[in-house]
A and B are shown apart, each in its own frame.
Chain A
Amino acid sequence: MIRKLLPHPHLTLLLTVVWLLLANSYTMNSLVFGVIMGLVIPWVTAPYWPDRPVIRRFPKIVEYVLIVLWDIIVSNLVVAKIVLFMPKSKLQPAWVTVPLDLVEPESITVLAGTITMTPGTLTAEIAADGHSLLVHCLHAPDPDGVRDDIKARYERRLKEIFE
């Protein structure tokens, strides 16, 4: 019964919070409307999004977000340094193949987005069978190290969250 009314509790919570932030008034009025939106939208969209991934460990998400935010700041400094001070001839761009252990499309999407936002790497393409990502590095003297970094730092954590 609960599952039928609340097909996706986390989505309900997220939609309510987003509505409150968008409405920008923290009154009973907007809270009630936010909860209504949070209940109706997942219920209406449920048939279009079957087999949603289940988030297994919610607190891990907080850890993941903090790590990614920190990496974004660091990556900005690193990229700024490369852009400003590294001569063009010393730049070593590289393509790296990252084999994937993740299988859920949603978690692969999160991983691809994370790679794009973090130090000097950018997800360019996914393999046709969905088992590897093609990552472009701005400056990578050691491409294998980049791949291992991505797998250990992000993919392992995403696997804990989603699978």
Chain B
Amino acid sequence: MELFWEILISALLVIGGFFGLVGSFGLVKLPDPMTRLHAPTKAATLGVGAVLIASMIWFGVFKDDLTLHELMITIFLFLTAPISAHFIAKANIFKDWPSDKLPRPHGEGEWAVHQADADTSAEELEEAEEARKG
């Protein structure tokens, strides 16, 4: 039984290392900043996730000390990775993508980056309230 766990943990570590490597390789290989963003937000999350699961199993089986800290790390990682990606993408659009190079948003108006005085969240909150009432 111990052998089974050892194989499982090793496999998870190898998977984690592999995806971490692919994520970094993607940063080098992909052609422009927007496509480069895809590599770390995806490949790296599974890489880190696999390593954390391996750590959880190792402590649970061989140390008799099951900790769920790793689960918290995974959850916080999944919560924060998209936010940093949004910010990098936003900065990149502001710098390199004028509105005539992008598809139009649905309906009137511009993308928030191109409309400096937009208060998206305030408008949304108002509409959500109206929808709730109506």
Contact = CB atoms under 8 A, between A and B. Distances in A.
A149 interface: no
Interface in B20-38: 22, 25-26, 29-32, 34-35, 37-38
Chain A interface SS verdict (over half): mixed
A21 B31 CA distance: 41
A124 interface: yes
A125 B129 CA distance: 23
B14 interface: no
B128 A91 contact: no
A80 B68 contact: no
B64 interface: no
A80 B45 CA distance: 12
Nearest to A143: B103
Contacts, number: 167
Contacts of A158: none
Contacts of A163: 131
B125 interface: yes
A6 interface: no
B35 A117 contact: no
Nearest to B38: A138
Interface size class of A (residues with CB under 8 A): 35 or more
Chain B interface SS verdict (over half): helix
A96 interface: yes
B13 interface: no
A145 to B, nearest CB: 15
B112 A122 contact: no
10 shortest interchain CB distances as A-B pairs = A127-B105, A128-B118, A99-B106, A116-B82, A124-B89, A76-B46, A113-B82, A83-B26, A132-B106, A128-B115
Interface of A: 18, 21-22, 24, 51, 53, 72-73, 75-76, 79-80, 83-84, 88, 91, 93, 95-97, 99-100, 103-105, 108, 112-113, 116-117, 120, 122-132, 134, 136, 138, 163
Interface of B: 19, 22, 25-26, 29-32, 34-35, 37-39, 41-43, 45-46, 67-69, 71-72, 78-79, 81-83, 85-86, 89-90, 92-93, 102-115, 118, 120-121, 123-125, 127-129, 131-132
25 contacts: A51-B132, A72-B46, A73-B46, A83-B30, A83-B39, A83-B43, A88-B29, A88-B31, A97-B106, A103-B124, A103-B128, A105-B128, A113-B79, A116-B81, A116-B82, A116-B86, A128-B105, A128-B109, A129-B107, A129-B123, A130-B124, A130-B127, A131-B107, A132-B105, A132-B107
